[in-house]
Amino acid sequence: MSKGVPLVYVFMGSDSDLPVMEECAAVFRVFGIPFEMIISSAHRSPERTAKLAVEAGKNGVKVIIAGAGAAAHLAGVIASHTTLPVIGVPLISGELGGLDALLSTVQMPAGVPVAAMAIGKAGAKNAALLAVEILALGNRKLAEHLVKYRRELSAQVEAKSKKLQDKMQKSGK
């Protein structure tokens, strides 16, 4: 999906998850991280999911992200097949608004960890940023890029505050 051998696999349980999981792709493009997006289900294609998880490390992957909705077992199942860090993103699907997926993702029994993110787009974006942070442990340029990214976030907040103050002044409030 991005040039080079993928350092991150971004799994999702269904193509219906793609509009949210695309947040990951956007972050990896900003940081120039090679990644691969994969649709594979813990329930509907269990053997394929297991094989991909088992082979990820051998293929040079360093971090795995897994987004799934409903009875979201994808991140946990992948984590059971690899010792690479696995980041789970609970997605909204069906009647319970993502709470089902959040609890499925976050409540891993002791021994096989999954780093659980927030529900939905914020979680997908943060999953990618956390993956970048993990990769930056061994990459000074990436670490510097992360610092710059945070500075830009701060600058955006200040700019929004200034815009609000200007607006209030103009309206005499």
Q: Nearest-5° angle of CA 79, CA 142, CA 37? A: 40
Q: In this chain, which stretch among 24-32, 67-75, 113-121, 159-167 interacts with ligand RP5, using CB under 6 A?
A: 67-75
Question: Applying CB under 6 A, does 99 fall inside the site for ligand RP5?
Answer: no
Task: Copy the structure tokens of residue 133.
Answer: 């942070």
Q: In this chain, which stretch among 62-70, 109-117, 123-131, 161-169 interacts with ligand RP5, using CB under 6 A?
A: 62-70
Query: Contact 23/10 with Cβ under 8 angstroms?
Result: no
Q: Where does residue 120 fall: left (phi above 0), alpha (psi -120 to 50 degrees), or beta otherwise?
A: left
Q: Can you tell me whether residue 115 is helix, strand or coil? A: strand
Q: Please, which residue, 39 or 136, has the CB nearer to ligand RP5?
A: 39
Task: Copy the structure tokens of residue 172.
Answer: 């005499």
Q: Which residue is nearest to ligand RP5 (CB)?
A: 13
Query: Contact 37/92 with Cβ under 8 angstroms?
Result: no
Question: Applying CB under 6 A, does 93 fall inside the site for ligand RP5?
Answer: yes
Pick the binder of ligand RP5 from 1, 2, 14, 136 (CB under 6 A): 14
In the complex, the smallest distance separating the C-beta of residue 126 from ligand RP5, rounded to whole angstroms, is 18
Contacts with ligand RP5, residue ranges (CB under 6 A): 13-14, 16-17, 41, 68-70, 91, 93
